[in-house]
Amino acid sequence: MSFRWFFLGALLVACHANQESTHDGRKQSVLDIRDAEATCPPIALNASLDDLVHAIVSNMGLKAGAGSDAYVVPSPSVRDAFAASVVSTLSGDTHKACGLPASYRSFSLHDGAEDILLVAELDATGHPAPQSFWGTYASRRPAPGTRALVVEAPHPLFDKNTPYESRAVFSEARAEWFLMAGAHRCANEGSAGCDGTTTACGGDSAPYRESDTAHATTSPFFAIHAELSRSTDAPFLQLHGNAQSCPDALISDASGTYSDAGVTARLAAAIEARGPSVGRCGLGYPKTGCSLCGTDNVEARMTAGSSQACTEKGTQYGRLVHLEQRPGLRQIPDGGTPGYQPVVDAVIATFTPR
């Protein structure tokens, strides 16, 4: 144990050495060579993903809540470099992990029978230490029994419990990707500049905020989604919550029309079979008082083939499931309360494992 930590410490020192800058050209070239060879392996954490997600969301509530202005909007190049580093790191590339921003670290931890990788704004001991609030990302190495599925929680804090539900789906369904936004959707006042309006941040209907990862293509969360959409064949499940006059679940492929084929229809049937009531967008929904079908959702638009997801719909829907849920369906299961367990079980029944 002590040797392993010493070894890890030495590697971390090496990583930090690479980030030093120098004006001495000769010294720089030595550092460049070391850069090419450097690795920043994940820090082994003896913690559960559930506990970490709870700690991160609690901290987010203190620091990146509605009106906090805490969320840092990156430039497009910084956003894309971050997304590439996160996806590479989560794919096991310990060299690319050295390119993560200083506030981000990669970790490995046990999740069920497997070890997973995590990229998050945690200090080296696993405590929340966010600076940019760009989100929390995890991966599971593909293996027999894992599911090529990306589980997304774009609205922590606002869509109460969806981070914990997403974590449960990721762990219990042995999904391969987990994406959670880093701030409340109303954290910043600035507008996302994308299609659509909402009353989510209070007052009259207003443009979506730049901190709203489901409606801002400037967000690292969107860029990571896009990277996974391009580089994998995995379907996406994006979990939301609402307090409208809706069935327990309102399910959509975000196209605005209903299709009987594909994972959206299968997941709808699987949830319904376990008890909760289900509304289907394009089949009687949206309607007055229950209107959240995700047609402005930028992740859905991108995966449906839009190259301008901020302002243009896609053309080929079906790979992303947009799931809206009343509070009861996203409660943490507790004794007699099934909460989100029917959703977890429906996901396991719907998405085929490897």
Nearer to Zn ion, 147 or 330 (CB): 330
Instruction: Quote the longest CA-to-CA distance of the chain.
Output: 69
Is the Cβ of residue 87 or residue 251 nearer to Zn ion in the bound state?
251
Q: Which is nearer to Zn ion, 83 or 157 (CB)?
A: 157
Q: Taking a C-beta distance cutoff of 8 angstroms, is the pair 300, 238 a contact?
A: yes
Q: Would you say 41 or 327 has its CB closer to Zn ion? A: 327
Contact 237, 300 (CB under 8 A): no
The distance of closest approach from Cβ of residue 271 to Zn ion in the complex, given in angstroms and rounded to an integer, is 17
* Residue among 250, 259, 236, 261 at smallest CA distance from 351: 236
Least distance in Å: CB of 153 to Zn ion?
9
Q: If we measure between CA atoms, which residue out of 75, 23, 71 comes closest to residue 211?
A: 71
The distance of closest approach from Cβ of residue 102 to Zn ion in the complex, given in angstroms and rounded to an integer, is 30
CB of residue 150 to Zn ion, shortest distance in Å: 16
H or E element in which residue 270 lies: helix 263-273
Strand pairing class (284-285; 206-207) = unpaired
Helix (H) or strand (E) segment spanning residue 320: strand 320-325
Residue 272, token pair as written in the block:
């319904």
Distance in Å, CB of 162 to Zn ion, minimum: 7
Using the minimum distance from each CB to Zn ion, give the nearer residue, 111 or 248: 248
Cβ count near 261 (within 10 Å):
8
Chain residues that interact with Zn ion, rule: CB under 5 A: 155, 159, 240
